[in-house]
Structure 1
Amino acid sequence: MVFVFGVNFPEQRLASLERFYGVGPQLSERLMARFHIHPTAKIGALGGRQITDLNAELTKLTIENDLRRKIQDNIKRLRDMGSYRGRRHAMGLPVRGQKTRTQITTARRLNRVDRKG
């Protein structure tokens, strides 16, 4: 097992970097290309230097709890300003111009924010 950025990785492909919140397929691919890692390589096959470099690069990025906090702060700022988007977030309605006459169930589920405050 290899320890990367606070997470234990069993012998899996390194594309499992996408487990981190804020690391998608493109960023994962870019990171692997930067450190000359083959996309199908297992994490146990990496050298110690590559793992430490990967760890250092992940610490520079805004991912996991920092990113979640940043998004919540942005939504809270919109709500406090009283903007249209902030009000839509507060009511749990679609924020980006989707129609609400028939299909808002997904938006109601995804835009759910605590209503206290």
Structure 2
Amino acid sequence: MPFISNINFTEGTLVKRSLETFFGIGPKVSQSIMARFHIQPWAKVGSLKASTLLDLTAELSNMKIENDLRREIQDSIIRLKDMGSYRGRRHAMGLPVRGQRTRTQIATARKLNRTLRGGDGRLGM
């Protein structure tokens, strides 16, 4: 089984799909990484050479993905809360932060915010 950045992938998995499993890598970023290393969109992880896998791992180690990115996002939210900004207060209350409608569709937003942050949605942490 091939490894990309210390994660096992089956040999039949598409390279694009395997890159998108990492937190912080979406379709456009995975497409640009594949273009940089001249990998076809329909290529499978099992068909890649060992040197290409090492190059992909090196590229991913230079990027801010997974836990580093999650930690940065949490730090940004905590910074907003400490400043007492509007966005920070909305995060603390578990309400939509980016101007979404709250008159009728607040239940879903509260539910999503609660699961995203891991808190209970109240003002204090």
Give the TM interval when normalised to the shorter protein.
Answer: over 0.9
Question: 1:15 is aligned with what amino acid?
Answer: K
> Given the alignment, which residue of 41, 49, 61 partners 1:47?
49
| Uncovered stretches (5+) of structure 2, i.e. residues with no partner | none
Matched residue, 1:70: 72
Q: What secondary structure, in the 3-state scheme, does the structure 2 residue paired with 1:111 have? A: helix
Q: What secondary structure, in the 3-state scheme, does the structure 1 residue paired with 2:31 have? A: helix
Q: What TM-score, normalized to structure 1? A: 0.95
The total of aligned residue pairs comes to: 117
Question: 1:19 is aligned with what amino acid?
Answer: T
Q: What secondary structure, in the 3-state scheme, does the structure 2 residue paired with 1:20 have? A: coil
Matches within 5 A, 1:76-87: 76-87=78-89
Q: State the superposition RMSD in angstroms.
A: 1.1
Q: What secondary structure, in the 3-state scheme, does the structure 1 residue paired with 2:3 have? A: strand
Once residues 14 and 64 of structure 2 are traced to their aligned partners in structure 1, the CA distance between those partners, rounded to angstroms, is 23
Matches within 5 A, 1:16-27: 16=17, 17-27=19-29
Structure 1 residue ranges, 4+ long, deviating more than 3 angstroms after superposition: none
| Uncovered stretches (5+) of structure 1, i.e. residues with no partner | none
Question: Percent identity among equivalent residues?
Answer: 62
Matched residue, 1:100: 102
